[in-house]
Amino acid sequence: MTDTQTRPMMPSVILETERLRLRAFVEADIDDVFRTYSDPAVQRWVPIPAPGVPYTREIAEHWCREAAPALRTSGDGQQWAAVEQASGRLVGAFGLLRTQWPAMITEIGYAVSPWARGRGYATEAAVAVSRWAVDQGFQRVELKAAVGNTASRRVAVRAGFSPEGVERNAMPLHEGRTHLAVYSLLPADLL
């Protein structure tokens, strides 16, 4: 069986919640994506593009134009730009990644724009994305957060994920490494 046969393309969908619209990234998102991912609080816990490499506007351009759409078409995941329904302003990036089709397992990841933190948007979007994944037949949705990233760990719990344990020394950061707290959501958790 070839990789293409085991990794179907994710559907292109728009998700809507009470306050948010999750849609594909567009050209107009580039500056907001750059501001979000270059923010020191995001860079502290998410070493994008790679440990020790600064996040640039060119990387944001590549993300919006090529990388995010390619994740969907390759079957590796699905990425959404979450925007406020009322204003259209970018709240953050939410998506599925590291999808294992034979096992029907995927992982949710996200980054929240600095202005949008502390408003419950991350939980709202994480619920929408994880429930959509379960509706697509995924049997396990994982969420991993650096153990020191208490805000992200609160999102996991508020979104209904169960804590499972810690992957020790599992992720490089821009400076050093971190343990990852592991959470999961199973279809049975939603019954």
User: pLDDT at position 153, please?
Assistant: 98
Q: How far is CA 138 from CA 67, 103, 149, 177, in A?
A: 23, 8, 26, 30
Order across the sheet with 105-112: list the strands. Answer: 15-16, 20-23, 78-84, 90-100, 105-112, 140-146, 177-185, 162-172
What per-residue confidence (pLDDT) applies to 6? 63
Q: What is the pLDDT of residue 3?
A: 47
Task: Give the Cα separation of 68 and 61 in Å (integer).
Answer: 10
pLDDT, residue 1, reads: 42
Q: Is 54 helix (H, G, I), strand (E, B) or coil?
A: coil
- What is the mean pLDDT of each successive set of 10 residues along the chain, which is 191 residues long? 65 96 97 98 95 97 97 94 97 97 97 97 98 98 98 98 98 97 97 89
Instruction: Give the model's pLDDT for residue 132.
Output: 98
Domains of the chain, start order = 15-189 (3.40.630.30)
Quote the pTM value: 0.94
Q: How far apart are CA 70 and CA 65, in angstroms?
A: 9
Q: What is the pLDDT of residue 5?
A: 52
| Rounded distance between C-alpha atoms, residue 76 and residue 113, angstroms | 24
